[in-house]
Amino acid sequence: MQELTRKKYHQKLTSAEKVAQMVKSGDRIFFGEFVLRPEAIDHALAQRAHEFQDVLIEGVCITKVPQFIEADPYREHFIYNDWHFSSVSRKLYQQGLCSYIPLTYHQGPRIVRKYKTYDYVFVSARPMDAQGYFNFGLVNSITSAAITKAKNVVVEINKSLPHCLGGNQESVHISRVDYIVEGRNAPLQEIRPPTPTEIDMQIAQHIMKEIEDGACLQLGIGGLPNVIGSMIAESDLKDLGVHTEMLVDSMVDLYNKGKITGNNKTIDRFKMVYTFAMGTKKLYEFLHNNSACASYPVNYVNDPRAIGMNAKVVAINNALEIDLFSQVCSESVGISQISGTGGQFDFIMGAFYSRGGKGIIGLSSTFTDKDGTVHSRIVPTLRPGSIVTIPRSIVQYVATEYGIVQLKGMPTWERAEALISIAHPMFRDELSAQAREMKIWLDRKR
């Protein structure tokens, strides 16, 4: 069997240049996720950019500008769509070089299987193992779904990838692969967590009061999740579990401190479950052949029903703005796309399903614009064009540096009161007056 798979490997082995020559105008391509960009194929496509018209390429949260976009600065040859915006995608969007695909993350694989067809799927993977499998490494997400809808599956080998255990669908067998490219084995891009601010630390102190022994954690990237991870590491909390869309460096620290055991989880007991990982070399080395971790497609990891099966889920997410009706915007500033829905909706809902679960939105009470003017992030109504990421019917906990409030089951006037109580003091009177004007404030006789 091993001899047969080796023979198949050499039959399917080709170059990035030959793959690029197969692509024709009008083709639809799925082009990897997060830090796993097929570098050699990217370069080969860029070299032929001027030969194409309307080649549609889709990816998930690119972390550096693809060469094919650099070779097409006026979007004359490639149309690039992203399922979630990184800071790189955002800048490309502002230049008219990238469009956003609205997505509730756990539905991604189903959307692909129902509505997408790709001429090519380009996937980064580890070298083939003795059984004929290519491991996807850091990313599971929607890759396996894209492969099921591809006319041609192309695997680009990167020896730098860690071997990440499943789970499910963390690998693809050579029998399902059409072409193999031995890539450049580029070192993995490292995404370092931002330095937490003093306000992040204040918000984290309020959130820490809501985390109990045996909690099942979802932490994302950013200053706030990073400082919460640090605080947990120095706390007396124990027997924590992990069921998270994104595995990050802070989880490694918690595991090494003995805080994470997974002993109290209901599903995937003792496993740190995730759908993609992104961070530094510390994280990538931790994941390599680590039986404590399990990679799954996002339709499992982010399914609110699966999330809710574990008790005491604590899901912590960031937001840009929340209005007095308790609508949360986490992905745009007015009409300008900043991020995406991602898995925030999934985990806020899933945490509510969890026995003792808590879905928490954390945000600073204010921000300062480029002119130095301070604005409240708690506002009467979302600014025109802003995207509602979490509807008021779904929002549960909201935390700022001034406290944390739980909104489920509250009428609109109580929600407004609660949110105003954690707004910056300099804006509270103004927000109260605006709540009365909008008739969501209950003026009770004293």
d(Cα 72, Cα 94) in Å, to the nearest integer? 15
Whether residue 446 has pLDDT greater than 80: no
| Mean pLDDT computed over 159-176 | 97
What is the per-residue pLDDT for 225?
Answer: 86
Where residue 155 sits, what CATH number does that domain have?
3.40.1080.10
* pLDDT (average), residues 231-238: 95
Say if CB 316 and CB 220 are below 8 A apart.
yes
Task: Give the domain-ending residue among 147, 182, 217.
Answer: 182
- 397 within a domain of the structure (yes/no): yes
Range of the domain at 168: 2-182
Write the pLDDT tens digit of every residue in 128-147: 999 999 999 999 999 999 99
Q: Which of 153, 182, 211 is the last residue of a domain?
A: 182
Q: Mean pLDDT over residues 94-123, rounded?
A: 97
Give me the mean pLDDT over the 72-79 stretch: 97
pLDDT at position 444 is 60
Provide the pLDDT confidence category of residue 195 given band limits of 50, 70 and 90. Answer: confident
Q: Are strands 397-400 and 403-406 parallel, antiparallel or unpaired?
A: antiparallel
Report yes or no on 443 lying in a domain.
no
What are 243-269's pLDDT values in tens digits? Answer: 999 999 999 999 999 999 999 999 999
- The secondary structure of residue 162, as a DSSP letter, is -
**pTM (2 d.p.):** 0.95
pLDDT at 387: 97
Active site residue 245: yes
The type of residue at 107 is: Q
Residue 247 lies in a domain: yes
For residue 302, what is the domain's CATH number?
A: 3.40.1080.20
Does 159 share its domain with 222? Answer: no
Residue 163, phi-psi category: left (phi > 0), alpha (psi -120 to 50), beta (remainder): beta
Whether residue 428 is predicted with pLDDT greater than 70 in this model: the reply is yes
Answer positive or negative: Cα dihedral of 42, 43, 46, 48: negative
Kindly report, residue by residue over 352-400, the tens digit of the pLDDT.
999 999 999 999 999 999 999 999 999 999 999 999 999 999 999 999 9
Same-domain check for residues 226 and 176: no
204 and 250 together in one domain: yes
Q: Which residues contact 312 (CB under 8 A, 6 or more apart)?
A: 212, 214, 215, 216, 264, 354, 355, 356, 357, 358
Could you report the per-residue pLDDT of 20-73, keeping only the tens digit for each?
Answer: 999 999 999 999 999 999 999 999 999 999 999 999 999 999 999 999 999 999
Average pLDDT along the chain: 96
232 and 173 in one domain? no
Last residue of a domain, one of 155, 182, 209: 182
Question: Is residue 192 domain-resident?
Answer: no
Q: What percent of the chain has pLDDT over 90?
A: 93
SS3 of 358-394: EEEEECCCEEECCCCCEEECEECCCCCCCCCCECCCC
Same domain, 213 and 309: yes
Same domain? 169 vs 61: yes
Same domain, 167 and 227: no
Question: pLDDT digit string (tens) for 290-344?
Answer: 999 999 999 999 999 999 999 999 999 999 999 999 999 999 999 999 999 999 9
Q: Are residues 244 and 326 in the same domain?
A: yes
Whether 159 and 261 share a structural domain: no
Query: Within a domain: residue 377?
Result: yes
Does residue 193 form part of some domain?
no
Token pair for 195: 């330095």
User: What is the DSSP code (8-state) at residue 187?
Assistant: P
Separation of alpha carbons 67 and 113, rounded Å: 28
Q: Do 288 and 393 sit in the same domain of this protein?
A: yes
- CA contacts within 13 A on the Cβ side of 377: 22
- Give the residue carrying structure tokens 């929340």: 322
Find all residues with CB under 8 Å of 242, minimum gap 6, and list them. 216, 217, 218, 251, 260, 262, 271, 272, 273, 274
Report the alpha-carbon distance of residue 318 to residue 297 in Å, rounded.
23
Catalytic residue among 156, 245, 321, 401: 245
Q: How many domains does the chain have?
A: 2
Tell me how many degrees the CA angle 252-253-254 measures, rounded to the nearest 5.
90
In a domain, 445, yes or no: no
Please, which pLDDT band fits residue 194 given cuts at 50, 70 and 90? Answer: confident
Q: Give residue 182's identity as a one-letter amino acid code.
A: E
* Domain identity same for 173 and 286: no
pLDDT on residue 217: 98
115 is written with which tokens?
Answer: 């509505």
* 444 in any annotated domain: no
For residue 417, give the 3-state DSSP assignment: helix
Per-residue pLDDT at 226 exceeds 90: no
Q: Are residues 118 and 169 in the same domain?
A: yes
pLDDT over 90 at 445, yes or no = no
